[in-house]
Structure 1
Amino acid sequence: MGVRKKFAWLAAVLVVGCSSLIVSACSSGSKGDPAAADPAVSKPPEKKEPVELVFYSQVPDYDESFMETFGNKIQAKFPHMTVKHLKAGSNKIDSLITNGDTIDVMFMSIGQADTLIQYGLQNDISDMISSQKFDLNRLETTAVELQRSFASGGMYGLPVFTNTLGLFYNKDLFAKFGVTPPKDGMNWDEVYDLAKRMSRTDGGVQYYGLAMSSSANFALNQFGASYIDPKTRKAAFTSEPFRKTMELLAGVSNIPGNGLTAQNWALGNQQKLFPEGKAAMFLHFVVYGLSFYKDTLNWDVVSYPQLKDKPGMGAQTYPTYFYVTKTSKHKEQAFEAIAYLTSEEFQNHLARKGMLPVLKNRVAGMAEFGQEVPYLKDKNVKGLLPEKFAPSQFTSVDVVRSQSPGHSFFFNAYQKAVLGLEDMNTALRSEGEKLDQKLAELFK
């Protein structure tokens, strides 16, 4: 690590684990000073009091993997810390709070962060960032700025890993039909054209050129479109970014031979098309796809399609943050632990396990990506992170809270438009009005 990459946790480790270096530095500093050579004068390393840190996530099946990926590494780095993980399911957060159980660190994606506010657990860690000289400039800018926006200029948490969208493709299908497969850096028109060439019926089987998750592709859209205007708390279905996003995604259905029907529109059916070998390409979350398709077919992945006028820009980032809670009795130790999770050492550990790091230095962050994941061998991992992320829609708690009802009415409008039941303008306007009624209840 360079001189500028000093963290509070590093200083603590140097005191506890590298006392010999401190003694060596003292003795070499002044050979004629008897005090420097006298062990009785040299201060012993400060003993750290044992502390238990309780981590909580809303993911119900994330227990053993949490300790393997996070908990054991924290304990190895900080021997005085014991990590306890409370998994969701049997541990409902409202029950924990009612029972007086303390959570030191909560971690969740940006799309779930309203939970932190809902239960009053938000805690601005700006003072600790400053006092511990934590360098936010080491982290990916968008993930940091998102948190500042979410916390009204403060910082409730630190980003530890992220997700985004990618273009997965079936290598065998492209070989079967003699079509050159996609590559990194393609724009939407090029992907549409490729999908046209791959959409066909062969041997009585309908092959789709391009399938997608509508919810994922809208959530991380490239125009920063949101279901609501955070200033007015009203539906934003008729806004320019929203309309552009709708037109872009509707273009997938307008590809001849690739049209959606009422039967295959649902996300579950769209997801089935790709592993079943009936879709040549699939637009979906990168981290989800990497693990989901590992044993299903001969696949690879390239970068998300780009807008012609914004080369190098991918989809939005979807970071997961670790938050030191307001009720924690061990805030400094909790901050020390999550600061370590953003270190180059730990970020490389995450990358080796196939998780997208949040370091600003993409080369360093992705250098060892997937090395501990056998099914990622020889995969095109260099295209997983774009040169820059699209502007994010997740800029406030209200935007996060509107996701569930917003997508429901967006889905209705999209389905009406692509199936030809209503023109796009009518569908957007009518479903936006319905969302406004729902928002009035949500925000009252």
Structure 2
Amino acid sequence: MEKRVWMKRAAATTVALTMLVPLMAACSKGEKDSSTEKRVLRIGTLYGGKDNEPWFRQQYTDTFEFTHPNIELEIVGAINNDDSRFQTYDPNNQQKQPDVYEELKKMLTGQNPVDVVVVDYTQLKRLVQDNLLQQLDPLIAQDKFDLTDYVPTVLDGIKQVGDNNLYALTPTFSASALFYNKKLFQDAGVSVPTDGMFWPDIVDLARRVSKGEGKDRKYGLSFNRWPGSNGIYDVQNYASTLQLKTWDDKGEKMLVNTQGWADALTVVAGLYKDDIIPDSDDVQKMNENKEGGDAGIYNPVDNDWFLSGRVAMTISDFSYVNELTLAKDNASKIKNFTPVDWDVVTVPQHQQAAGIGGNIYYSQLMSINAKAQNPDDAWEFIKFTNSPELAKLKSRSQYELSSRKSFIKASESATPFNIAAFYSLKPIPPSATDMDKLYREKPGIWEATNAGNDAFNDVVKGNKTAKEALADWETKGNAVLEKLKANPNGGDGGGTIDVKPLAEASGEATSTDSAEATESTEATSTDAAVAR
């Protein structure tokens, strides 16, 4: 037994070292500094702590240090997660949350500034606007760093926040696509969706593929794999590329009473009303209809309505491919489960935003500080991390996509699928509103969305038109925003508002957090990346 384990580890090590040889050779070819003098490269991340730093080193810096022995890396976190990790929540004594952007600025402009900074998409835009980053285009041209293999949508998204210039590069990204169940379309005699469809086409397909009654009902569409939460969030997801605003940039006035909101609300509420999208009542009925012996027994696919074959189409990110593959590989262990025969196409588009898709996540955007003390090694690090050699080494990841097209591939254990659907559309431009700042300064602002679900339900039940329901939401939301001027935390201290509480947090939150949570589960066997 011990011998087999040793041989397995030795084989994995041999594979890793074999892949590192060309990587080291490629690095040595471009080596400009042959000195043995030790140099320090400081890398700044948004969050530090005992968990975050080891993960970041294993994922991004261990191989660099191995191939660049003269460079010592220091990892600096703008905010230390350890400080708040074990704090007990006290609604009567809420500590003011640190301003992430201000902490980033301190890290970039202080007495000992970092050389490289790793940020998310929202911060990148502000850092560029405040002239805190070095433009990479001259360095790319100088070193003839080849970007022809980069996914165009990745570069386009980064250029969007840099006045058509590059101020960052990222080795990986994630994105969403429309997953569909081939069998449900075949059973309904309906043609499957294709790339480049607009929302009216998808809505039509969803209606045509919906069949059956009661517990045997097959639904045409769900905006996520776990339906039944909150209809107004589905409206926001439907209209995400249109960038409809719930309130103004200062969080002082509701902006929901518009024709754009009315159109979106009408479409999604119609799908709920006609039982094309499953709602909370459908979820409850499904749970109640479990046969006696199965009631209360955990089934790993039940709550995922696409995976369990109840929904014909759903929107999810690239990491879902791995879950579908795992379920298929373990189908024999799941009672009454038939693996889904699936594929993907591009997310539906709106005519007003043709060519733009939803939810592209740039998880590790790497930039050079405009005041870097060691800009040469900073650029060497970014080149290395975004090199084709390292992309090849990291290409086994099934949770994110490589930014280089040559190394994007489908899961080896899955049937080939239309992987280009994840990166064929342009990303949504970043919002002009700094939502992080609003939620930090006005934690109770989510309460202004409460009446949104009431408005949605009124339209579904036929009690009000979309315009009437939105006018009511506008009035109630403005009352909440006015109360927040006196008490930003909201709640009882902000006065009693006749609005029902939401089941979840505000739909204004982005899906970047979920991508990061998914990313934290990633582990590979032959390189330095291990699970966080």
Q: Identify the TM-score tier after normalising by the shorter chain.
A: 0.5 to 0.7
- Matches of 2:484 and 2:165 in 1, distance apart? 27
1:236 to 255, 258, 269: 255
SS at match of 2:241: coil
Q: 2:178 maps to which residue? A: 167
> Are 1:399 and 2:432 counterparts?
no
Asked if 1:436 is matched to 2:481, the reply is: yes
Q: 1:193 aligns with which of 198, 204, 210?
A: 204
Matched, 1:275 2:294: no
TM-score, normalised relative to structure 2? 0.56
Equivalences for residues 132-143 of structure 1 within 5 A: 140-143=154-157
Q: How does 1:122-161 map to 2 (within 5 A)?
A: 124-126=132-134, 140-148=154-162, 157-161=168-172
TM-aligned CA distance change 1:230 to 1:380, over 3 Å:
same
What amino acid is the match of 1:290? V
Are the aligned partners of 1:125 and 1:154 in contact in 2 as well (CA < 8 Å)?
Answer: no
1:314 and 2:304 matched: no
1:49 is matched with 38
Conserved? CA contact 2:251–2:481, under 8 Å: no
1:218 aligns with: 236
Match of 1:17 in 2: 28
Matched, 1:290 2:317: no
Change (3 A) 1:231 1:357: farther
CA distance in 1, matches of 2:397, 2:354: 29
Quote the Cα distance in structure 2 between the aligned partners of 1:264 and 1:159.
Answer: 39
Structure 2 counterpart of 1:337, from 381, 396, 399? 381
Change (3 A) 1:84 1:261: same
Name the residue aligned to 1:356. Answer: 401
| Gap change, CA 1:85 and 1:180, over 3 Å in 2 | farther
Partner amino acid, structure 2, of 1:144: I
* Deviation string, structure 1 residues 164-221 (Cα, Å, up to 9, x no partner): 3311123343344444332222221221122112323368423221111475883681
**Secondary structure of the equivalent of 2:240?**
coil
Out of 407-416 and 133-142, give the one that drifted further: 133-142
Query: 1:386 corresponds to which letter in structure 2?
Result: S
Closer, same or farther in 2 for the Cα pair 1:247/1:327, shift >3 Å?
Answer: farther
Report the CA distance shift for 1:235/1:19 in structure 2 as closer, same or farther (over 3 A). closer
In 1: Cα distance, 2:346 partner to 2:135 partner: 38
**Structure 1, 312-321 or 247-256: larger mean CA deviation:** 247-256
> Which of 55-64 and 308-317 deviates more?
55-64
Contact 2:455–2:473 (CA<8 Å) still a contact in 1?
no
Amino-acid identity (%):
17
Deviations 1:278-335 (A, max 9, x none): 2121123x23423343323423221101224654332253323235579986565344
Of 347-356 and 176-185, more deviation after overlay is shown by 347-356
Asked if 1:260 corresponds to 2:246, the answer is: no
Rounded to whole Å, the distance in 2 between the matches of 1:251 and 1:209 is: 13
Give the counterpart of 2:191 among 151, 157, 180.
Answer: 180
Matched residue of 1:291: which SS?
helix
What amino acid is aligned across from residue 431 of structure 2 in structure 1? F
How far apart in 1 are the matches of 2:303 and 2:160? 29
C-alpha distance in 2 between matches for 1:168 and 1:405: 35
Q: What's the C-alpha RMSD, in Å, of the aligned pairs?
A: 5.0
What runs of 5+ residues in structure 2 fail to find an aligned partner? 1-23, 85-96, 225-231, 285-300, 328-338, 490-532
Q: Provide the rounded CA distance (Å) in 2 between the counterparts of 1:244 and 1:400.
A: 28
**1:382 and 2:415 aligned:** no
234-243 or 271-280, larger mean C-alpha shift = 234-243
SS at match of 1:283: strand
Flag the 1:193–1:432 CA change in 2: closer, same or farther, 3 A.
Answer: same
- Kept after mapping to 1: 8 A contact 2:271/2:277: yes
CA change 1:327–1:127 in 2 (3 A) is closer
Say if 1:160 and 1:328 are closer, same or farther in 2 by CA, change over 3 A: same
Kept after mapping to 2: 8 A contact 1:211/1:270: no
Which SS does the other structure have where 2:320 is aligned?
helix
How many angstroms apart in 1 are the aligned matches of 2:344 and 2:253? 37
- Check the 8 A contact 1:229/1:236 in 2, yes or no: yes
On the 8 A contact 1:123/1:324 being kept in 2, the answer is no
Q: 1:189 to 1:80 in 2, by over 3 A?
A: same
1:300 counterpart residue number = 343
TM normalised by structure 1 equals: 0.65
Does the aligned pair in 1 maintain the 2:359–2:427 contact within 8 Å? yes
Q: CA deviation at 1:271?
A: 6.5
Task: Classify 1:400/1:434 alpha carbon distance in 2 versus 1 (closer, same or farther; 3 Å).
Answer: farther
- Opposite residue 134 of structure 2, the aligned amino acid is S
Tell me the CA shift for residue 53 of structure 1: 4.6
Deviations 1:324-370, CA, capped at 9 Å, x for gaps: 57998656534432344344555566665342355xxxxxx334313
Q: Which residue of 2 aligns with 1:207?
A: 218
Q: Structure 2: how far apart are the matches of 1:310 and 1:59? A: 38
> What is the Cα deviation at residue 375 of structure 1?
4.1
Q: Which stretch shifts more, 306-315 or 62-71?
A: 62-71
Q: Distance in 2 between matches of 1:77 and 1:408?
A: 52
Could you say if the C-alpha distance between residues 370 and 309 of structure 1 is closer, same or farther in structure 2, counting changes exceeding 3 Å?
A: same
Residue 78, structure 1, aligned to residue 110, structure 2: no
Report the Cα distance in structure 2 between the residues aligned to 1:308 and 1:323, rounded to whole angstroms. 34
Paired letter, 1:273? W
**How many residue pairs align between the two structures?**
388
> Which residue in the other structure is 2:93 paired with?
none
Check 1:400–1:131 CA distance in 2 against 1; reply closer, same or farther (3 A cut).
same
Residues 1:333 and 1:405: Cα distance change in structure 2 (over 3 Å): farther
1:322 is paired with a residue whose SS is strand
Give the Cα–Cα distance (whole angstroms) in 2 for the partners of residues 63 and 172 of structure 1: 45
Cα pair 1:162 1:357 within 8 Å, conserved? yes
Change (3 A) 1:260 1:204: closer
Unaligned runs of 5+ in 1: 1-12, 23-43, 359-364
CA contact (8 A) 1:210 1:258 kept: yes
Distance in 2 separating the partners of 1:129 and 1:102: 22
Letter in 2 for 1:222: T
In structure 2, the CA distance between the partners of 1:191 and 1:431, relative to structure 1 (3 Å rule), is: farther
